């Protein structure tokens, strides 16, 4: 179908921000939604399937409203992710409405239906697994829920952990003491905390014992009560480590396990604890699992296409083997 609409009155500054330099934003929208956009000043003509054309119009109108200020590449990409979603991310059947998390990021929200499902599962289950490719928000949203729980005094502390498995480099050759050696592995968790709480709040929370970031090996023998515990990069655990971690959970605690089974750095022949847990715990009551896909990637658009290319190769090799 062909859909026509006009911004009236036309604000040339906002229009330029929506279209981008040399209409670069319009080309990105065309590629993402599978439509053809032509325009003359403030009059737009969208050619494509009915649903895609209507979503394109809604997207352009939303961007025009936001264009009172310059539009960043991140803003455009997140808007495209929402526009491509098969259904509104905040209007799932049976939901009570948009989720509001208490963090420093006032604009924090689910961008895709699976992200919304993930947040709902974290809030309603004691143990939640988030599996999928890079860029889908698995870790960031889990940390956001942890910060929200701490702010509401639902838990007394946040514990973030990752297995210290080398991705091609050797831990022993890194300079410094043990803390300095493992710090690079935990840096993404620090970054999420700084973004959601602010540097000063994070520093004070560490001083008060409300925040702990540690390698997975440090969890052995502990019982974690009244805590929000996140195991990140769980594809690099062994089945024994995964069992050890999950059995640390105590009273009043909530646990989120995240990982990408396509990026396993374990030695050849060693089974991933995440893959094992996905199979063993699939039907265990009280445990939820969200499986993200390339459609949920909210980074640079190339990331989604890279993920899709690798997934396609894996499927081809799987069929040929």
Mean pLDDT by 10 residues, the chain (321 residues): 85 91 89 89 89 91 89 80 62 52 75 88 94 90 93 93 63 53 74 90 93 88 93 94 94 95 90 95 92 81 78 73 39
pLDDT at position 107 is 63
H/E element, 256: strand 254-259
Whether 73 and 21 have beta carbons less than 8 Å apart is answered as no
Whether 92 and 117 have beta carbons less than 8 Å apart is answered as yes
pLDDT at position 175 is 54
Whether 68 and 11 have beta carbons less than 8 Å apart is answered as no
pLDDT at position 176 is 55
pLDDT at position 9 is 78
H/E element, 6: strand 2-6
Q: What is the CATH code for 113-320? A: 3.40.50.300
pLDDT at position 301 is 67
The 3-class SS string of 155-201 reads CCEEEEEECCCCCCCCHHHCCCCHHHHHHHHHHHHHHHHHHHHCHHH
Sequence-separated (6 or more) residues with CB below 8 Å from residue 315? none
Whether 255 and 107 have beta carbons less than 8 Å apart is answered as no
Whether 164 and 236 have beta carbons less than 8 Å apart is answered as no
b/e code 183-212 from CB counts within 10 Å (16+ = b): eebbebbeebbebbbeeebbeebeeeebbb
User: Fold identical between 2-84 and 113-320?
Assistant: no
Both structure tokens of 159:
């514990």
- Determine whether domain 2-84 maps to CATH 3.30.1370.10: yes
Alpha helices in the chain (DSSP H): 12-19, 24-33, 50-66, 73-84, 113-124, 138-151, 178-197, 199-208, 239-246, 273-280, 301-320
Whether 99 and 123 have beta carbons less than 8 Å apart is answered as yes
pLDDT at position 170 is 47
Query: Where do the domains of the chain lie?
Result: 2-84, 113-320
pLDDT at position 280 is 95
């Amino acid at each position: 179908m062909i859909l026509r609409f006009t911004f009236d009155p036309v604000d040339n500054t906002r229009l330029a921000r929506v279209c981008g330099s040399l209409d670069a934003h319009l080309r990105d929208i065309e590629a993402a939604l599978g439509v053809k956009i032509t325009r003359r000043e403030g009059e737009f003509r969208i050619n494509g399937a009915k649903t895609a054309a209507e979503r394109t119009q809604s997207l352009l109108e939303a961007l025009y409203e936001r264009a009172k200020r310059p539009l960043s590449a991140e803003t455009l990409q997140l808007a495209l992710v929402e526009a491509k979603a098969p259904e509104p991310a905040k209007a799932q059947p049976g939901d009570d409405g948009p989720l509001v998390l208490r963090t420093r990021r006032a604009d924090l929200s689910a961008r895709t239906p699976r992200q919304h499902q993930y947040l709902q599962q974290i809030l309603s289950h004691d143990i939640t697994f988030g599996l999928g490719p890079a860029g889908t928000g698995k870790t960031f949203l889990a940390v956001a829920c942890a910060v929200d729980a701490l702010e509401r005094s639902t838990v007394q502390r946040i514990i973030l952990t990752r297995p210290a498995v080398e991705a091609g480099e050797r831990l022993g050759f890194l300079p410094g003491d043990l803390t300095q050696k493992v710090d690079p592995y935990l840096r993404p968790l620090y970054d999420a905390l700084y973004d959601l709480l602010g540097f000063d709040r994070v520093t004070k929370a560490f001083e008060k014992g409300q925040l702990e970031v540690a390698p997975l090996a440090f969890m052995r023998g502990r019982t974690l009560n009244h805590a929000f515990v996140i195991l990140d990069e769980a594809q690099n655990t062994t089945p024994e480590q995964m069992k050890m971690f999950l059995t640390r959970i105590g009273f009043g605690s909530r646990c989120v396990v995240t990982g990408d089974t396509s990026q396993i750095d374990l030695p050849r022949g060693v089974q991933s604890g995440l893959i094992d847990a996905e199979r063993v715990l699939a039907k265990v009551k009280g445990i939820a699992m969200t499986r993200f896909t390339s459609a949920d990637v909210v980074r640079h658009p190339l990331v989604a296409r890279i993920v899709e290319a690798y997934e396609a190769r894996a499927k081809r090799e799987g069929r040929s083997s």
